[in-house]
A and B are shown apart, each in its own frame.
Chain A
Amino acid sequence: MAKKNTAGESGKKNYGAWIAAVVLSVFWMLVTFVPFSFMVMTGFKQKIETIMYGAFHMPEKFYPDNYKGVITDPTFWTYFRNSVIVLIISLIILLFISACAAYPLSRFKFKLRGPIYFLIVAAMSVPMHVTLIPVFNMTINMGLYDTIWALIPTNVAFATPISVFILTGFMEGIPKELEEAADIDGCGRFGRFFKVILPLSTPGLSTLAIYNGVNMWNEFIFAFTLTQSESNRTLPLALWNYQGQYSSNTAMIMACLTLSVLPMIILFIFMQEKLVKGMMAGAVKG
């Protein structure tokens, strides 16, 4: 698994290029990290500070009450629990059905392949807001309105086109020979899918898990349209406690946003391991 040749070693010839790359990398790190750090820091400010000086200003003094306020709010944890449940179930269903759909689209030849692929791309062109009213009606008719279960079909459905599209492309890149080898071993199509294709798609699936996971975690349009009781809300709606008709409490909002993003950072640190090169070789051996 360990890579012998990283760029650092082969760098004797282009030492200068390497330095430039590191300088640019550090610069980019600042570009991505500075806004994030001010989100965290603004959570430690008093409301009047954010009003007077905005977010990009060092806190005058460390004021932990915002974070305490969010953490000790029981509704925050209710929303948190709902978000976790919705996220996990949605993600599992999404990844599985997307992989299922991408498999025949990428590797079989059949008549409807073209039209179905077109349907997927066309679905990516549908503006989400036009689906609000039909989805609301369906949710009511199914009796799912104002339950967290209403959010699972929408989360899955709206992530499906992009996921199938990405996975189809990914699976097309898996060498045919690997699948044929499994065929000789006596695996049927389903066997090949589970034993060869699915493991080899891990980097693609991880990318999708990360991207869609973040989107589902932050999703709020359907969350507020399809639920109404406080007990059925998800985390993005936790901000509402600090937003009024004429003013909002930026410091509290930032504290709440910071706490909301932490689980996603942990998920990313965990999932990004799967993106490392060498997956392919390992999968074939196993």
Chain B
Amino acid sequence: MKGSTTLAKRRQRASAICAAVFLTPVIILMLVYFVYPIIATFANSLTRWNGISPEKIFVGSYNWNKLIHDAKFWKAFGNNIKVMAISLIVQMPIGILLATFLDAGGKKFNIFKIIWFLPLLMSSVAVGYLFHYALATNSGIFTAISELFGGGKVDLLGNQGTALYAVIGVICWQFIPFYMVYYMAGYSSIDESLYEAAIVDGATRTQYVTKIALPMLVPTIKSAIVLSITGSLKYFDLVYVMTGGGPGESTELMATYMYKESFSKYNMGYGSSIAGGMFILITLIAGVTMYVMNRKKED
């Protein structure tokens, strides 16, 4: 790299070269691990293929027509929307609250930080096992609480009306710590001198948080929202471990539905169109959200 020069054009070109060097590894990874598979997925979605045979039969838009009229897919999409909405409503505020508390407390609160972070450290298999028992009808925590107050047994996972919400609750439990550390990282980049200046001006801690810190956290919150949306719309793990989509289809998500079609039902062609549909819907929702959030900034 040559040193800086006064010519703006030269400088711009140097920027472009520098950007290219810095971006190359990631772009190659993206092309190989995301672009190529997603193109292959779209290609497979035009075939009837059991996923194992060397033979694929071209069927044109058959799978896509089926997808558009598939009530199970749209039910799964609706379930994903519920996961997304509840994740946003529950995880974001609690994550911010916990991070704010830890930020205020400093090192003294390390023990809180470590224990609050435990859920994210545990694998989904562990979380699935534990909450299967925690939510169980016979020896679960909720049944115990209910019986303490003279109520009957509580069946959360076996009831089609509550199973999805029970699983979403567990998902929130697992992911709140992620947003907690994420917001903590956001707080940590706020200049300490701002706080000192605010205190000198006679502000209380609460005023500092609401008037200064939170507004500075907005970009972090926006990124967190995008992460939460994409994460919830392609969510798979705990549903697969805890309910497998049941009872009935009450907890089926797009990703578990796709998995079943592709690997259990030997409908890789149709599974691919579900994956393609997922990809389009998620990109669309994430894109619109980012557009809306960034437009507001410009106002």
Q: Spell out A's residues near B (CB within 8 Å).
A: 3, 5-8, 10-11, 13-14, 17, 21, 25, 28-29, 31-33, 35-36, 38-39, 53-57, 97-98, 100-101, 103-105, 108-113, 116, 118-131, 133-135, 138, 153-154, 156-158, 160-162, 164-166, 169-170, 172-174, 183, 186, 188-190, 193, 200, 203-204, 206-207, 210-211, 214, 217-218, 220, 236, 239, 250, 253-254, 257, 260-261, 264-265, 268-269, 272, 275-281
A97 & B29 in contact (Cβ 8 Å cutoff)? yes
Please give me the residue from chain A that is nearest to B282 by CB atom: A125
Complex Cα–Cα for A183 and B30 (A): 31
- Chain B residues within an 8 Å CB radius of A207: 181-182, 184-185
Residue count of chain B within 8 Å CB distance of chain A? 109
CB distance from A117 to the nearest CB of B (A): 9
- Chain A residues within an 8 Å CB radius of B255: 127, 129
> With A97-B25, A121-B283 given, is the CB distance from A162 to B227 under 8 Å?
yes
CB distance from A256 to the nearest CB of B (A): 9
B26 & A160 in contact (Cβ 8 Å cutoff)? yes
A218 & B124 in contact (Cβ 8 Å cutoff)? yes
CB distance from B262 to the nearest CB of A (A): 7
Please give me the residue from chain B that is nearest to A217 by CB atom: B123
Pick from B63-71, B160-168, B230-238 the stretch touching chain A.
Answer: B230-238
B26 & A174 in contact (Cβ 8 Å cutoff)? no
Q: Which secondary structure characterizes the binding site on chain A?
A: helix
Q: Spell out B's residues near A (CB within 8 Å).
A: 1-4, 12, 14-16, 18-19, 22-23, 25-27, 29-30, 32-38, 40-41, 51, 98, 101, 103-108, 110, 112-127, 129-131, 133-134, 136, 138-141, 144, 173, 177-178, 181-182, 184-193, 195-196, 199, 204-206, 219-220, 222-223, 226-227, 230, 233-234, 236, 254-255, 258-259, 262-263, 272, 275, 278-279, 282-283, 286-287, 290
- B105's contact among A7, A135, A186, by CB below 8 Å, is which? A7
> With A55-B129, A279-B188 given, is the CB distance from A125 to B233 under 8 Å?
yes
> With A6-B108, A189-B18 given, is the CB distance from A203 to B189 under 8 Å?
yes
Q: Which secondary structure characterizes the binding site on chain B?
A: helix
The 11 sampled A-B contact pairs (Cβ below 8 Å) are A11-B205, A13-B204, A35-B127, A36-B119, A56-B134, A57-B139, A130-B40, A134-B36, A211-B178, A275-B181, A280-B192
Known: A109-B12, A124-B286, A236-B123. 5 other contacts (CB 8 A): A104-B22, A110-B15, A123-B30, A203-B188, A277-B103
- Chain A residues within an 8 Å CB radius of B144: 56
B182 & A166 in contact (Cβ 8 Å cutoff)? yes
Q: Please provide the 3 A-B residue pairs with the shortest distance between their CB atoms, ordered closest to farther.
A: A104-B19, A125-B282, A157-B33
> With A10-B199, A120-B30 given, is the CB distance from A254 to B129 under 8 Å?
yes
- B191's contact among A25, A32, A281, by CB below 8 Å, is which? A281
A121 & B290 in contact (Cβ 8 Å cutoff)? yes
- Chain A residues within an 8 Å CB radius of B233: 125
- Chain A residues within an 8 Å CB radius of B15: 104, 108-110, 189
> With A170-B185, A189-B14 given, is the CB distance from A154 to B33 under 8 Å?
yes
CB distance from B138 to the nearest CB of A (A): 7
B181 & A28 in contact (Cβ 8 Å cutoff)? no
Please give me the residue from chain A that is nearest to B255 by CB atom: A127
Please give me the residue from chain B that is nearest to A53 by CB atom: B139
- B33's contact among A14, A54, A131, by CB below 8 Å, is which? A131
Complex Cα–Cα for A204 and B187 (A): 11
Complex Cα–Cα for A112 and B24 (A): 12
CB distance from B168 to the nearest CB of A (A): 15
- Chain B residues within an 8 Å CB radius of A32: 115-119, 173, 177
- B115's contact among A33, A104, A131, A134, by CB below 8 Å, is which? A33
